[in-house]
Homo-oligomer: A and B are copies of this chain.
Amino acid sequence: MTRVLGIDPGSRLTGFGVVDADGSRYHYVDSGVIRTLEAPFPERLRIIFEDLAQLIATHQPAIMAVEQVFVQKNVSSALKLGHARGAAICAGATSGLDVAEYTPRAVKQALVGTGSADKAQVAHMVRQLLGIDAPLAEDASDALAVALCHVHQTPLQQRIHNTQESRP
Chain B proximity mask over A89-113: 1 for CB below 8 Å, otherwise 0: 1101110001101000000000000
- In the assembly, what is the distance between CA of A75 and CA of B79, in Å? 8
Number of interface residues of A (CB under 8 A): 32
Q: In the complex, which of the residues B75, B76, B86 contacts A74, with contact meaning CB atoms closer than 8 Å?
A: B75
Residue ranges of A at the interface with B (Cβ–Cβ < 8 Å): 41-43, 45-46, 49-50, 69-72, 74-76, 78-87, 89-90, 92-94, 98-99, 101
CB distance from A87 to the nearest CB of B (A): 5
Residues of B with C-beta under 8 A to A49: 90, 93-94
Q: In the complex, which of the residues B43, B72, B85, B94 contacts A86, with contact meaning CB atoms closer than 8 Å?
A: B85
A interface, by DSSP: helix, strand, loop or mixed? Answer: helix
- In the assembly, what is the distance between CA of A49 and CA of B109, in Å? 33
- In the assembly, what is the distance between CA of A45 and CA of B85, in Å? 10
Chain B residue, CB-CB nearest to A91? B90
A-B contact pairs, 6 of them (CB 8 A): A41-B101, A45-B89, A50-B94, A79-B79, A83-B83, A83-B85
CB distance from A103 to the nearest CB of B (A): 13
Residues of B with C-beta under 8 A to A50: 94
